[in-house]
Structure 1
Amino acid sequence: MQEKKSLGLLPKLLLGITGGVIIGAIFSTLQIQLPIRILATFNGLFSNFLSFVIPLLILSFVTIGIADLGRGADRLLGISVGAAYFSTIFFTSMAMLFSWQLFPVVLQQQSIFQDLIENPKDFLLKGYFNIEMPPVLNVMSALLLAFVLGLGLATKKDENNVLFDVILSFQKIVEKLIHHIVIPLLPLHIAGVFANMSYSGKALHVMIAMAIVFTMILSYHFLTLVIHFTLAGLWRRENPFRLFMYMIPSYMTALGTQSSVASIPVSRQQMKEAGVQEDIANFAAPLFATIHMPGSAITISTIAFSLAYMTGLEVSILQAIEFILMLGIVMVAAPGVPGGGVMAALVLLESSLGFNETMLALTIAMHLAQDSFGTACNVTADGALALEIDMLFKRTSETE
């Protein structure tokens, strides 16, 4: 008997947004608050649960991420990780600089969005009750503890390290929690937010702004790939467009599966066809699928800075730089499930930029609505980075 294939996250999210807007409009016309307030109650509980889970996610994934990288620390790994991190923060910074120039032209600081941060209780209907779920650790403590544990475990060469095994088991528990509870409930959470906004008559303005921001994000993805493959082509003295065409199957695979990990076999094959040495391709494809995420980082940061601009939330250049540098680290350790990157980034949005519950929900919705394009940008850029790393080691070998 064949298993029924469930809808993917993106269709569920779009159904949630559409359903939320329709529900809000219907009950606004009927002047009935009950269903909207029930959804608002769920949203409050879900947000509190997320606040409880996120420090656990950061602690487990960042610890294992640093420990794993340190355990295999050799020259190729060190250079590859450094190149992936630099690529992520460079292109994210580039997107930020372009955005800050474009926001005054394409977006407006509207009172609709200012209410999201200044008067969220007046802007949206309240739930019937709330249950506090205080995190075991605050975000900064979780991050610092993860660094301490990760660096400590990275120095341990013993394969049977008990602490590493315990944290790895804990990571698997957190990953299951994200995969089986948080991600499936996200569409309902997003539906509740949009139902509330639709009830107040604000949803259309938000969706128009979302469409503008999406266009900007896709433009940044395209520019990232153009620059990456141009550099690879110049260094290798090959046609950048031809190199890019080799990675098109990877782009399409990621677009369909919404998963960098699922694209590894295709990426590995296309890297080799583009001219990357087999041993470099075998190493780079799985590593970069896990740690090189410029598309996702660009998406999260552009959404964050656009919401900050529209709400009138002041973000200094130092705050922005700190956010991008930390986001690059978080992307390395982000869980490999659809939406895992934005889940891990919520901590930074709240602690570094001061986002509230509604702004966090909008960030999740906007990110997941185009997550497949960010993933496709990630895996395609992996090919360019592999070509660059391959050339670096060829040049190094020639000089030795």
Structure 2
Amino acid sequence: MKNLLIKWNQMSLVKRIVIGIIVGVILALTLPNAASGVTILGSLFVGALKAVAPILVLFLVMHAIAGHKSGKKTNMKSVLVLYGLGTFLAGVVAVLASFMFPVTLTLKTGAEDLAPPEGIVEVVQTLLFNLVANPVDALVNANYIGILMWAVVLGIALKSANQNTKDMLGSFSDAITKVVQWVINLAPLGIMGLIFDSIVTTGLSALLEYGRLILILVGCMLFIAFVVHPLLVFMYTRKNPYPLVLLVLRESGITAFFTRSSAANIPVNMKLCEKLGLDEDTYAVSIPLGATINMAGAAVTIAVLTLATVKTLGIEVDFITAVMLTVVAAISAAGASGVAGGSLLLIPLACSLFGVPNDVAMQVVGVGFIIGVIQDSCETALNSSSDVLFTAAAEEAKERRLGKHSKAVPVNS
């Protein structure tokens, strides 16, 4: 048994996750009645990631800012530009796909009790109030905007602290990072439980009715992941972007696909950034911030489902108006929660642009939850993996300007 565990730990995490996926599928097909015993593994894994992520973000950002030396530049400006471009272009791709391959919905009930935001103003207000949230409440409720705000403020305040205090912050950051490594090593078991739960509780039959819609959503996200994002990275790095693209999809996208939570995937992304040798002053802020505002997948979901609703109701929409939807989708996506299904509650906001009644829009949200086992998984994988992709691209662009070699964009995937 000891030798088996040693060999297991020597395998790459990706290979162990693939084994977990295969075992989860086999168990779901052969022993579906063992749900309570297997699904708890997935719940525990996601719960552990969500528990450690807020503390990790607080201490990493605080330590990075407190220890930041004057005159040393970060890449946050470039990262923010890439986040914005990526989210907006995702909305444009979704609109084009919806015009080329129109789809209608069979609307069902089941989402009436949910409470979506009523407008852009409410989304912005929520973000502003999250900024000034009580720090304890921000940690308890995983309010990453609030956590980032307090981490930045405390980090600035601690810049003038003595070196012993800064060393203590560094020790806390290292300890929490170690805990994160322990949790991530449990990913194969956790993902086995998650995929088992998805197959047993949702099944695949419920998805067949919405097959065309799923194809459009997933097709858009794949196009963005393998065409749009690589083009953006190439514009910045002037290097072949695909080794980096494949790397982040493999090491970040897979775990995000199964956890279906950008927030839960923050520790995974932090570890990947460290592995790539990126600047901690940058990724300590860009990764948790990206979990909140870098929402290409959410923009696709909002735009495609809104235009599908409009088509179903027979509302004529010209391309210019549809492009306006991409702006709304991009802004709305930035306000989407970093948890499973967060973007769906913003669909009524986009639907209101076309005068769609809220009760109809909430039925569309219900459709979104039905296909969520695929849609939300792909959306989160795209969102979360691109946080690392754009952070690494900004780092490589900086090194290129300075004429230095960087390992941010690997030679081989």
- Quickly name the TM-score band, shorter chain normalised: 0.5 to 0.7
- Structure 2: runs of 5 or more not aligned: 1-35, 44-64, 66-72, 144-204, 405-413
Which amino acid in the other structure matches residue 381 of structure 1? Answer: S
The CA deviation at 1:274 is 4.3
CA contact (8 A) 2:217 2:304 kept: yes
Which amino acid in the other structure matches residue 251 of structure 1? Answer: G
Question: Structure 1 pair 146/171, CA: closer, same or farther in 2 (3 Å)?
Answer: farther
CA contact (8 A) 1:251 1:380 kept: yes
- Structure 1: runs of 5 or more not aligned: 10-71, 117-122, 125-129, 155-163, 176-203
TM-score where L is the length of structure 1: 0.56
Which amino acid in the other structure matches residue 368 of structure 2? Answer: M
Match of 2:122 in 1: 142
1:82 aligns with 2:72: no
Per-residue CA deviations over 1:118-171 (Å, capped at 9, x if unaligned) read: xxxxx99xxxxx99x999x96365357568x67xx98xxxxxxxxx34799699
1:394 aligns with 2:399: yes
Take 1:257 and 1:141, find their aligned partners in 2: how far apart are those partners?
30
Aligned pairs (5 A) from 1:346-365: 346-365=348-367
Pick aligned residue for 2:251 from 245, 249, 264: 249
Match of 2:219 in 1: 219
Which amino acid in the other structure matches residue 219 of structure 1? Answer: G
Match of 2:346 in 1: 344
Take 2:271 and 2:142, find their aligned partners in 1: how far apart are those partners?
32
SS of the equivalent of 1:259 reads coil
1:91 aligns with 2:71: no
Match of 1:313 in 2: 315
SS of the equivalent of 1:218 reads helix
Per-residue CA deviations over 1:83-139 (Å, capped at 9, x if unaligned) read: 212210112112211220222xxx4x6xx85xx6xxxxxx99xxxxx99x999x963
Take 2:311 and 2:323, find their aligned partners in 1: how far apart are those partners?
16
RMSD, matched Cα: 4.3
How many residue pairs are counted as aligned between the two chains? 275
Question: Structure 1 pair 365/244, CA: closer, same or farther in 2 (3 Å)?
Answer: same
Report the more deviating stretch, 206-215 or 375-384: 206-215
Pick aligned residue for 2:292 from 274, 290, 293: 290
Take 1:282 and 1:142, find their aligned partners in 2: how far apart are those partners?
28
SS of the equivalent of 1:261 reads coil
Question: Structure 1 pair 224/322, CA: closer, same or farther in 2 (3 Å)?
Answer: same
CA contact (8 A) 1:232 1:385 kept: yes
TM-score where L is the length of structure 2: 0.54
Per-residue CA deviations over 1:238-258 (Å, capped at 9, x if unaligned) read: 443321232112111111111
- Higher helix fraction: Structure 1 or Structure 2? 1
Take 1:360 and 1:246, find their aligned partners in 2: how far apart are those partners?
37
Question: Structure 1 pair 231/167, CA: closer, same or farther in 2 (3 Å)?
Answer: closer
Take 2:291 and 2:95, find their aligned partners in 1: how far apart are those partners?
23
Question: Structure 1 pair 254/346, CA: closer, same or farther in 2 (3 Å)?
Answer: same
Take 2:402 and 2:253, find their aligned partners in 1: how far apart are those partners?
31
The CA deviation at 1:75 is 7.4
Per-residue CA deviations over 1:210-229 (Å, capped at 9, x if unaligned) read: 21010111111111111213
Question: Structure 1 pair 278/99, CA: closer, same or farther in 2 (3 Å)?
Answer: same
Aligned pairs (5 A) from 1:232-243: 232-233=233-234, 235-243=236-244
Per-residue CA deviations over 1:333-378 (Å, capped at 9, x if unaligned) read: 2222211222134323235451442442233432534211110111
CA contact (8 A) 1:346 1:360 kept: yes
Match of 1:335 in 2: 337
Percent identity, aligned pairs only? 21
Take 2:279 and 2:259, find their aligned partners in 1: how far apart are those partners?
26
Match of 1:42 in 2: none
